[in-house]
Amino acid sequence: MLRYLPLILRNSWRNRRRTILTVASIGVSMCLLGVMIAMFHALYLSDATPDQALRLVTRNRISLTVSIPESYENSIKQVAGVREVMISSWFGGTYIDAKHFFARFIVDTDKLFTVYSELRIPEDQRRAFVRDRTACVIGRDLADKYNLHVGERIHLVGDIYPGDYEFAIAGIFDSPRPSEVMYISREYLEQSLPERRRGNAGTFVTVIDRPESATRIAQTIDNEFHNSTAQTKTESEQAYVLGFVSLLGNVKMFLVGISGAVMFTILLVSANTMAMSVRERVREVGVLKTLGFTPGTILGMILGEACAISLVGGTIGFVLSTMLTGGVGKSPAGAFLPPVPPFQPAVAVACILTAVAIGFLSSLVPAIGASRTPIVEALRSTD
């Protein structure tokens, strides 16, 4: 069939408007499919980084939004294999207005860069953060986005912690992940609360000795508080991140459902396009048979034409999905998601092979019908 490749490519371009629209429809659909596959892979199939594998997160078993007593920290520290425990809570609040959203967490300042050892910050800035309770540290991405510098002040209006707060930027850290995030001193926020609201924690972030101990340590921690009024759920950091995502609903089913709908829709569109293309060329098929082209050759040429158009659309769709996926990773939501590589070979293969498969399947029935049409009947066609 390779000797007919120039003819296949020429036939693919014979109706330019139809070809461009078909390529565009397949490209947009494969772009959406690529984003869905990339997000599914990052959320459910990716492996934890070495630093993430050494961290467990303990939260209230009922919900992420329900706090647990800070006194649990001492009990967690006593579990064999636990190296460090840090309290972390969501601050919320508003910076300028609701459109300027980024993650804001309350943490133990002296433990932050021990627990999250992958974060890099100059030592003098780290010490300033620990020393000044009204200080904060921010990620490099956040600093670049709002043009913030060390020494400037950030004003936040609290909601979970009501009041007006002003924090001095003590340092800017670098992270291998999206870093539109801000960390605030827990000690300072606790003192701003009424007595009845103190002594609670959102989560405990635990650093363990080795990844193999994660299951045992998690079970031991949860068993410790099994009979308490606030039972806990301890899980890996990766599973905890998925807990945030699950607040949106059944994300896994959503991704699978959207992907299936995209494939089915584009299959119908491509089938209709190829049926129209073949119907317009029935007499041409009769001429080709008269010239000696076999039914198998005609079948291969029509299938090749459809696959070529779909291949171009799938490639364009993957390129677009790569750009969109990179944008998601750099958005504020990227701080809550596992790292999404800008280029994933598995996504590229999935998009391109899916596009080719759609082109093949959509043109199979019209191509078989055309290849089996008798010469006389084909030449008499007036379509």
Residue 331 pLDDT > 60? no
Report the distance separating Cα 37 and Cα 347, nearest Å: 6
What pLDDT, on the 0 to 100 scale, is given for residue 340? 62
Which of 191-195, 216-220, 246-250 is the least confident region? 246-250
Output the six-digit token pair for 325.
Answer: 């996926």
- Overall average pLDDT of the 366-379 stretch: 80
Which of 75-84, 142-151, 155-164 is the least confident region? 155-164
Q: Is 185 exposed, middle or buried (0-12, 13-18, 19+ CB in 10 A)?
A: buried
Identify the band that residue 46 occupies on the pLDDT scale cut at 50, 70 and 90.
low
Tens-digit pLDDT profile for residues 51-71: 888 999 999 998 878 899 999
Amino acid letter for position 219? Q
Tens-digit pLDDT profile for residues 119-147: 999 999 999 999 998 999 999 989 999 99
Tell me the whole-structure pTM to 2 decimals. 0.68
**18 or 210, which is more confident:** 210
Output the six-digit token pair for 83.
Answer: 């190296």
Output the six-digit token pair for 308.
Answer: 């070529």
What pLDDT, on the 0 to 100 scale, is given for residue 114? 93
- Overall average pLDDT of the 210-232 stretch: 92
Report the distance separating Cα 236 and Cα 218, nearest Å: 8
What pLDDT, on the 0 to 100 scale, is given for residue 136? 95
Report the distance separating Cα 253 and Cα 40, nearest Å: 10
Q: At 150, give phi and psi (nearest 5°).
A: -60, 135
Q: At 23, give phi and psi (nearest 5°).
A: -60, -40
Mean pLDDT, the chain, rounded, equals 84
Cα radius of gyration rounded to whole Å, the chain: 29
Identify the band that residue 246 occupies on the pLDDT scale cut at 50, 70 and 90.
low
Task: Give the list of residues 6+ apart from residue 121 with CB closer than 8 angstroms, or none.
Answer: 113, 137, 171, 172, 173, 174
Residue 82 pLDDT > 70? yes
115 contacts 86 by C-beta, under 8 angstroms: yes
Residue 350 pLDDT > 70? yes
Sign of the torsion formed by the C-alpha atoms of 160, 161, 163 and 168: negative
Percent of the chain with pLDDT over 70: 90
Report the distance separating Cα 270 and Cα 26, nearest Å: 8
Which of 165-169, 265-269, 295-299, 368-372 is the least confident region? 265-269
Give residue for tokens 């133990």.
Answer: 108
Which of 4-8, 199-203, 284-288 is the least confident region? 4-8
What pLDDT, on the 0 to 100 scale, is given for residue 382? 57
Residue 341 pLDDT > 70? no
Closest CA to 202 of 107, 335, 97, 334: 107
Helix residue ranges per DSSP H, 72-122:
72-77, 112-115
Report the distance separating Cα 90 and Cα 161, nearest Å: 10
